[in-house]
Amino acid sequence: MRVIVSGGGTGGHIYPALAIAERILADMPGSEVLYIGCDNGLENNIVPTTSIPFKTISAKGLPRKLTPALAKSLFINSKGVVEARRYIKEFKPDLVIGTGGFVCGPTVLMACANRVPAMIHEQNAYPGMTNRLLASRVNKVMINYPEAARFFVKAKETVLTGLPVRDDIGKLSREEGCAKFGLDPAKKTVLITGGSRGARTINRVCALALTGILANPDVQVIFITGKAGYVETSLLLKDSDSSVLRNERLCFLEYTHDMPYALAAADVVIGRAGATFLAEIAMCGLPGILIPYPYASDNHQQFNAQAVVDAGAGEMILDAELTVPKLTAALNNFLCNDDYYQAKKEAMQGLARPSAMDDIMMLVQSFAK
């Protein structure tokens, strides 16, 4: 089977595409996969580190207003359409899969125009513009949140698959996780993370709240600032309480490659509401406090967080409303009320979709010749 996968712009679009591509190659011997990305996207740094063949096209997001930039975007994307058509003619795929981001627009569009079966995967509760525009043209729309289905009423078929996560997520024990960070598995662990680049608001408010959090001798913290926020957060901690950085119940990190261990160690998380992160904490049954990134396209992180809140699996505090008192009060609910915590934990476990990749592969195989 010959498959083209396309998705880009952010890791949330790239990693699901790679995961699907790698699973196709593993489960379907003799298959060939081509990844099509944008010529200036993040995927240029990520996909070439794998063994998957990689081609690029010209693509650019469309402005929401009538400006001179719109004409430029239309010109760039028209060029991308021609390039995508050429790759499809050359590769002759049996299936094209788009995982979001404007780069998959020309690729999936040209697949449909050339009568090549196509599917798209939408990770968020509020779908991106590209997937909303493509939905009526493709054979199947795969979604991660049931809430997204209402945006795809014109789709031929919508399937709730969930979002695949890395194989090592949810497989490690609490003891293994705590040992990796030198922490005590008998204590409650709070994981604070704003992602690989960090989140300034989360870092700042959590730094100011940290002394109060660690005042509870039964609580320990893994605080991952992200590379962009490490120095600033360190200085803030030193200014507010210089002793906190010496606390043996604090693991203060710029970045970690051992996130599966951090998730295994944690009891509760404080973080953003990207689809991949939420899928990972669901697999680990980790409830928490979600602070959506306020500048995400179409405010999709707030929709993701609201879906978690509606399921009874967590709490949401908007970025602009995050304060030390509000964060501390919400966190104490998780740490000091066992019934409250257990209910949230069970609800989060209910959101996990461990069969997501298997379900996606069943759909892929349905197009095999």
Asked if 313 and 340 sit in the same domain, the reply is yes
Residue 168 resides in a domain? no
Residue 169 resides in a domain? no
Asked if 190 and 307 sit in the same domain, the reply is yes
pLDDT at 223: 97
Q: Cα separation of 114 and 46, whole Å?
A: 29
pLDDT at 359: 97
pLDDT at 323: 98
Task: Name the pTM for this structure.
Answer: 0.89
Q: How far is CA 277 from CA 53, 109, 167, 211, in A?
A: 27, 29, 14, 26
Asked if 318 and 244 sit in the same domain, the reply is yes
Asked if 341 and 358 sit in the same domain, the reply is no
Residue 283 resides in a domain? yes
CATH code (residue 83): 3.40.50.2000
Asked if 111 and 189 sit in the same domain, the reply is no
Residue 204 resides in a domain? yes
Q: Cα separation of 39 and 359, whole Å?
A: 31
Chain centre to alpha carbon of residue 237: 29
- Written as one string, the DSSP assignment of 305-356 is HHHHHHTTSEEE--GGG--HHHHHHHHHHHHH-HHHHHHHHHHHHHH--TTH
Asked if 194 and 332 sit in the same domain, the reply is yes
- Short-list 225, 218, 181, 182, CA closest to 202: 225
Residue 278 resides in a domain? yes
Q: Give rounded-to-5 percent helix, strand, coil for the chain.
A: 50, 15, 35
Asked if 53 and 159 sit in the same domain, the reply is yes
Asked if 197 and 338 sit in the same domain, the reply is yes
**What is the 8-class DSSP label of residue 222?**
E
H-helix or E-strand containing 114? none
Pairing verdict, β 54-57 and 32-38? parallel
Q: How far apart are the first and last CA of the chain?
A: 7
* SS3 (DSSP) at 293: coil
Q: What is the residue range of 15's domain?
A: 2-163+354-365
Asked if 199 and 306 sit in the same domain, the reply is yes
Enumerate the β-bridge partners of residue 156.
none
Q: Cα separation of 313 and 345, whole Å?
A: 6
Beta carbons within 8 Å of 55's beta carbon, 6+ residues apart: 34, 35, 36, 37, 87
Residue 189 resides in a domain? yes
Asked if 309 and 180 sit in the same domain, the reply is yes
Residue 28 resides in a domain? yes
Q: Cα separation of 297 and 131, whole Å?
A: 13
Question: CA dihedral defined by 162, 203, 226, 350, rounded to 10 degrees?
Answer: -20
Asked if 234 and 327 sit in the same domain, the reply is yes
Q: Report how many domains make up the chain.
A: 2
Query: What six digits make up the tokens of 257?
Result: 């490659």
Query: Which residues in the chain belong to E strands, given as ranges?
Result: 2-6, 32-38, 54-57, 95-98, 118-122, 140-143, 158-160, 188-193, 219-224, 250-253, 268-271, 288-290, 314-316
Q: Cα separation of 9 and 30, whole Å?
A: 29
Residue 104 resides in a domain? yes
| pLDDT by residue, tens only, the chain of 369 residues | 999 999 988 888 898 999 999 999 999 999 999 999 988 888 988 899 999 999 999 877 655 565 666 566 666 778 888 999 999 999 999 999 999 888 899 999 999 999 999 999 999 999 988 899 999 999 999 999 999 999 999 999 999 999 988 888 999 999 999 999 999 999 999 999 998 678 999 999 999 999 999 999 999 999 999 888 999 999 999 888 888 999 999 999 998 889 999 999 999 999 999 999 999 999 999 999 999 999 988 899 999 999 999 999 999 999 999 999 999 999 999 999 999 999 999 999 999 999 999 999 999 999 987
Asked if 110 and 149 sit in the same domain, the reply is yes
